[in-house]
Structure 1
């Protein structure tokens, strides 16, 4: 479902001057997907620069699971790309920080 939205708004995301960031959960049971699936999608869509914040109740458990699954998906940089939080105060602080530091604006120029 989220992939459909991102695909529909892909050009807007890439061309927007306002920050774009993604907040997701640690696991989507109905789709059997987690943040690694999101990173894989972002890579395929040339949106690797988009910041991803993960909100979960079990930060340590999620990190353990991602650590074990990442090699099989060839995602080595997940620790650098995912900001994992387990409380709303940290979540809001990170969102504000990304906006202030303009993380999530246009992709970096190569």
Structure 2
């Protein structure tokens, strides 16, 4: 892996500020990945708040990886909270793990997919159709 830059934010609000300032730069780049924790206790925020923020900034394409000690507990909590936030696609958008090995594998996989993009089947079929 080459040319990796890490911006670390202790608080959710710091990441929120960063995304607000850099949203245009992020939109034009496909390299950003967000790694977050399962819960920001002091701010009462979780990965659903992050997905909501990404939606607001039209950054739905940004991969979100969640590193937590309680994967099952977090998934249960998100399952209960997601409908009230209208985030029905959270399971597809969040990669949740409690394994550092799994996390690193997913980060590398995301980087590899960006270097060699895969066109989803739906787009391929649409692009072949002529008006």
Instruction: Indicate the residue corresponding to 1:46 in structure 2.
Output: 58
Match of 1:3 in 2: 16
Report the CA distance between 1:12 and its aligned residue: 1.4
The aligned residue for residue 96 of structure 2 is 84
1:12 to 2:25 alignment = yes
Which of 61, 80, 90 aligns to 1:68? It is: 80
The number of residue pairs the alignment matches comes to 103
Give TM-score scaled by structure 1 length. 0.89
Moved beyond 3 Å, runs of 4+: none
Partner of 1:33: 45
Structure of greater Rg: 2
Instruction: Say yes or no: does 1:94 pair with 2:106.
Output: yes
Please, which runs of 5 or more residues in structure 2 have no aligned partner?
Answer: 1-13, 118-131
Structure 2 length-normalised TM: 0.75
Which of the two has greater helix per residue?
A: 2
How far the C-alpha of 1:79 sits from its partner, in A, is 0.2
CA RMSD of aligned residues (A): 1.4
State the alpha-carbon separation in 2 of the partners of residues 93 and 25 from structure 1.
Answer: 17
Tell me the CA shift for residue 101 of structure 1. 0.5
